[in-house]
């Protein structure tokens, strides 16, 4: 990992200008530690480690489907890295300071900390129940976080990057965001009164004028541009990278990073000035550092940081955060993975519209893995997606119950495989010279499944999980086609040739299922576990390096051949009744009663 200051020129000139004008303290120690950091970072990058974060969630309201989506994406990337043999840390948690939370606690008639604790626990429960396997759960009200934020603030202050000034402008409490006039428009509130709103979020804004501490954001513009131009993969997908570049073409005023204590008590006081509270976004962003032990022990993990965020908080993560980090002399995140939003009935989820999807209720209805599969299979990071009950049922029935579950059921049925073993592969039946019983489509399937891991790797890496699942689903379909084509249930096991061919069909199908089960682990951990357990695959045989698809055909060994299958623990995924199906059933069950 290179140190960002060393790779930029034009941006660095601005920064250097500050040093010359005495606005920053030219601290030699900073430079030597920065250089040390860049040296040790390159040593560290040889280690296989990975650090992924979700945004920390506001506790002003209960979790909804969109929150679960952010968490499930990050969990999938974390599990993916573990599968590949990385040491991985995965942090999530709650954002508990700020005016919005202060007001929500007041409205609930609770003291802020009690209120935050209750809602934070609901997030934690949701994530744990949906197999979101975080390694760290952070709350911004924790003491360790307060110390990290105070330290971070002091670093920026000591370098002359924070100064006292007057902020006058628009502020949205709902977004906890300052806006320039071009980001504000007119609207009518529910009572018909004219109000000013943020054009991006639609939330109400208010004019404020306060003495605040300001961060010299304006001087980071060219540094940020350099970073983005030199690291085209820093913000993904591409359209969001372009959006940030576009914002940087516009005016980038200095940023207010505190509020008067009289207005905002629920937050961390500015070190050395108890009359001011640190701006909630500066406080919140530092959570990513707190988790990995900032300011003393963060280096190992910080240089492999990846953030998953929703599109609404891109500006905070791709402009403010990198500017703060550059100011503090810290490396920038490797990738900011951005996702779009879930809408319901084509509209943004909101309490007032009554269209908020409760993730607890829905993951009970569709199972945890069912919910995870749907979100990741249908969620396209580039664009918003619409959530409907019917879509979930249809997709899960088709792909998990019928296609994948049906394939496992058929091929492990005792009628087909009475010995309940992983049978032998016969290279006379399925020879490489294509003179056996296999047909062209079978060879094509074998090649497609063989390359599946590479395809899936590419898509998981780019957070295009839906494409990985699309590819797996297409392969499952092909394998069903293979079984259907050769109708193994019609073969006579007592005939030695037929028997060998039958075993080969089963062996190949089990090998395909083993690959699917292994690659699906980051998305549907419980289903994959049931699938691999049924195949007799031990937990230490489920990693990326164990894939070795169809070794007996490709000239290596197959350690599964001849082994007993695992126990049958029922259906992989039970079909969900569609609403129309349920209606038909009720009608049918009523008919005989009428006859009588
Ligand atoms: N607290 C800030 C983040 C601070 S990170 C240093 C915040 N919290 S949030 O609770 O409002 O949002 C958390 C995440 O949920 C964001 O990534 C946001 O994009 C995501 N979602 C909120 N609504 C969503 C949908 N309707 N659909 C998908 N994700 C959505 O912002």
Give 388-413 pLDDT, tens digit per residue: 999 999 999 999 999 999 999 999 99
Nearest CA to ligand 1 atom 5: 55
Lowest mean pLDDT of 99-113, 262-276, 346-360, 399-413, name the range: 346-360
Cβ(118) – ligand 1 distance below 6 Å: no
pLDDT at 501 over 90: yes
How far is the centre of ligand 1, averaged over its atoms, from the C-alpha of 57 (Å)? 6
H/E element, 172: strand 162-172
Least Cα distance to 115 among 98, 128, 92, 129 occurs for 98
CB 520 within 8 A of CB 527: yes
Of ligand 1's atoms, which has the minimum distance to the CA of residue 309?
17
Instruction: List pLDDT tens digits, range 445-486.
Output: 999 999 999 999 999 999 999 999 999 999 999 999 999 999
pLDDT band for position 427 (50/70/90)?
A: very high
How far is the centre of ligand 1, averaged over its atoms, from the C-alpha of 70 (Å)? 7
Helical segments of 136-236, H only: 143-158, 221-230
Cβ(203) – ligand 1 distance below 6 Å: no
Distance CA 167, CA 580 (A): 58
Distance CA 519, CA 557 (A): 20
How far is the centre of ligand 1, averaged over its atoms, from the C-alpha of 91 (Å)? 15
User: What letter would DSSP give residue 566?
Assistant: -
Cβ(359) – ligand 1 distance below 6 Å: no
pLDDT band for position 377 (50/70/90)?
A: very high
How far is the centre of ligand 1, averaged over its atoms, from the C-alpha of 363 (Å)? 19
Among 310, 311, 353, which is best to mutate for testing ligand 1, by the most ligand atoms less than 8 A from CB? 310
Distance CA 269, CA 259 (A): 9
Residue given tokens 């529910």 in the structure block: 190
CB 263 within 8 A of CB 176: no
Q: Which residues contact 458 (CB under 8 A, 6 or more apart)?
A: none
Cβ(95) – ligand 1 distance below 6 Å: yes
Model pLDDT, residue 402: 98
Model pLDDT, residue 43: 54
Cβ(344) – ligand 1 distance below 6 Å: no
Task: Supply 392's token pair.
Answer: 């979930």
Model pLDDT, residue 579: 60
User: What letter would DSSP give residue 421?
Assistant: B
Burial class of residue 13 in the structure, from the number of CB atoms within 10 Å of its CB (0-12 exposed, 13-18 middle, 19+ buried): exposed
Cβ(291) – ligand 1 distance below 6 Å: no
Distance CA 181, CA 203 (A): 14
89/20: higher pLDDT: 89
Rounded to an integer, the average pLDDT of 305-325 is 98
CB 533 within 8 A of CB 503: no
Beta carbons within 10 angstroms of residue 555's beta carbon: 9
Q: Which residues contact 586 (CB under 8 A, 6 or more apart)?
A: none
Nearest CA to ligand 1 atom 19: 310
CB 442 within 8 A of CB 430: yes
Cβ(313) – ligand 1 distance below 6 Å: yes
How far is the centre of ligand 1, averaged over its atoms, from the C-alpha of 88 (Å)? 23
Model pLDDT, residue 9: 35
Alpha-carbon separation of residue 336 from 19, 51, 57, 292, 382 (angstroms): 30, 12, 17, 17, 14
Alpha-carbon separation of residue 388 from 143, 206, 347, 393 (angstroms): 42, 35, 12, 9
Cβ(240) – ligand 1 distance below 6 Å: no
User: Residue 213's beta-bridge partner residues?
Assistant: 164
pLDDT at 537 over 90: yes
CB 86 within 8 A of CB 544: no
Cβ(285) – ligand 1 distance below 6 Å: yes
pLDDT mean across residues, the chain: 90
Task: Supply 585's token pair.
Answer: 């059933």
How far is the centre of ligand 1, averaged over its atoms, from the C-alpha of 177 (Å)? 14
Task: Supply 243's token pair.
Answer: 């959006």
Among 312, 338, 386, which is best to mutate for testing ligand 1, by the most ligand atoms less than 8 A from CB? 312
Q: How far apart are the first and last CA of the chain?
A: 79
**What does DSSP say about strands 269-270 and 273-278: parallel, antiparallel, or unpaired?**
antiparallel
Lowest mean pLDDT of 268-282, 504-518, 582-596, name the range: 582-596
pLDDT band for position 201 (50/70/90)?
A: confident
Cβ(517) – ligand 1 distance below 6 Å: no
What does 235-291 look like in DSSP terms, one character per residue? EESHHHHHHHHHHHHS----EE-EEETTT--SSPEETTEEEEEE-HHHHHHTHHHHH
H/E element, 594: helix 579-595
Among 67, 145, 306, 341, which is best to mutate for testing ligand 1, by the most ligand atoms less than 8 A from CB? 67
How far is the centre of ligand 1, averaged over its atoms, from the C-alpha of 66 (Å)? 7
Helix 440-461 and helix 496-520, axial crossing angle in degrees, nearest 10: 10
Alpha-carbon separation of residue 171 from 206, 252, 313, 392 (angstroms): 5, 16, 15, 38
Q: How many residues would you count in the chain?
A: 596
Distance CA 470, CA 382 (A): 16
Of ligand 1's atoms, which has the minimum distance to the CA of residue 285?
6
Task: Supply 60's token pair.
Answer: 């002003």
Cβ(69) – ligand 1 distance below 6 Å: yes
H/E element, 212: strand 206-215
What does 5-18 look like in DSSP terms, one character per residue? HHH-SHHHHHHHHH
Model pLDDT, residue 586: 44
How far is the centre of ligand 1, averaged over its atoms, from the C-alpha of 63 (Å)? 10
Task: Supply 548's token pair.
Answer: 């070795």
How far is the centre of ligand 1, averaged over its atoms, from the C-alpha of 133 (Å)? 19
Distance CA 345, CA 390 (A): 12
Nearest CA to ligand 1 atom 10: 57
CB 270 within 8 A of CB 164: no
């Amino acid at each position: 990992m290179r140190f960002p200051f060393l790779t930029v020129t034009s941006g660095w000139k601005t920064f250097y200008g500050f040093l010359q004008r005495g606005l920053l303290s030219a601290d030699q120690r900073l430079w030597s530690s920065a250089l040390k950091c860049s040296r040790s970072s390159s040593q560290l990058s040889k280690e296989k480690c990975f650090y992924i974060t979700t945004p920390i969630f506001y506790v002003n309201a209960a979790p909804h489907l969109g929150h679960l989506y952010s968490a499930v994406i990050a969990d999938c990337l974390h599990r993916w890295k573990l599968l590949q043999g990385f040491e991985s840390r995965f942090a999530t948690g709650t954002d508990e300071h700020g005016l919005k939370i202060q007001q929500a606690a007041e409205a609930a008639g609770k003291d802020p900390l009690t209120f935050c604790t209750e809602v934070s626990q609901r997030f934690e429960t949701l994530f744990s129940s949906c197999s979101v396997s975080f390694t760290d759960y952070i709350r911004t009200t924790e003491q360790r976080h307060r110390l990290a934020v105070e330290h971070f603030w002091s670093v920026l202050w000591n370098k002359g990057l924070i100064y006292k000034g007057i902020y006058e402008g628009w502020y949205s409490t709902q977004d906890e965001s300052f806006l320039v006039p071009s980001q504000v428009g007119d609207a009518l509130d529910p009572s018909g009164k004219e109000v000013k709103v943020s054009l991006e979020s639609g939330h109400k804004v208010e004019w404020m004028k306060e003495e605040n501490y300001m961060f010299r954001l304006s001087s980071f513009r060219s540094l940020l541009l350099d970073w983005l131009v030199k690291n085209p993969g820093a913000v993904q997908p591409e359209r969001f990278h372009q959006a940030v570049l576009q914002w940087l073409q516009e005016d980038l005023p200095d940023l207010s990073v505190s509020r008067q204590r009289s207005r905002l008590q629920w937050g961390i006081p500015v070190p050395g000035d108890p009359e001011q509270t640190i701006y909630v976004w500066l406080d919140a962003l530092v959570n990513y550092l707190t988790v990995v032990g900032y300011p003393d022990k963060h280096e190992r993990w910080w240089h492999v940081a990846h953030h998953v965020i929703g599109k609404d908080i891109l500006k905070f993560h791709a402009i403010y955060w990198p500017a703060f980090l550059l100011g503090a002399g810290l490396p920038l995140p490797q990738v900011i993975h951005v996702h779009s939003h879930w809408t319901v009935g084509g509209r943004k989820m909101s309490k007032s519209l009554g269209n908020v999807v409760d993730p607890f209720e829905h993951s009970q209805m569709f199972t945890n893995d069912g919910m995870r599969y749907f979100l990741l299979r249908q969620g396209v990071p580039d664009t918003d997606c619409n959530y409907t009950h019917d879509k979930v049922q249809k997709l899960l029935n088709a792909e998990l119950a019928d296609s994948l579950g049906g394939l496992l059921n058929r091929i492990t049925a005792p009628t087909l495989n009475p010995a309940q073993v992983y049978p032998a592969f016969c290279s006379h039946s399925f020879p490489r010279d294509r003179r056996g019983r296999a047909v062209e489509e079978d060879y094509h399937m074998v090649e497609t499944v063989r390359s599946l891991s590479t395809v899936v790797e590419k898509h998981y890496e780019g957070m295009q999980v839906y494409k990985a699942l699309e590819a797996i689903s297409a392969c499952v379909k092909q394998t069903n086609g293979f079984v259907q084509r050769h109708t193994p249930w019609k073969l006579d096991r007592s005939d030695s040739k037929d028997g060998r061919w039958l075993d080969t069909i089963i062996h190949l199908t089990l090998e395909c299922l083993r690959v699917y089960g292994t690659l699906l682990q980051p998305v549907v951990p419980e289903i994959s576990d049931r699938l691999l357990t049924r195949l007799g695959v031990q937990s230490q045989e489920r990693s990326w390096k164990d894939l070795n698809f169809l070794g007996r055909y490709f000239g290596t060994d197959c350690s599964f051949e001849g082994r007993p299958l695992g126990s049958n623990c029922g259906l992989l995924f039970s079909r969900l009744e569609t609403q129309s199906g349920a209606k038909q059933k009720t009608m049918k069950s009523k008919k005989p009663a009428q006859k009588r």
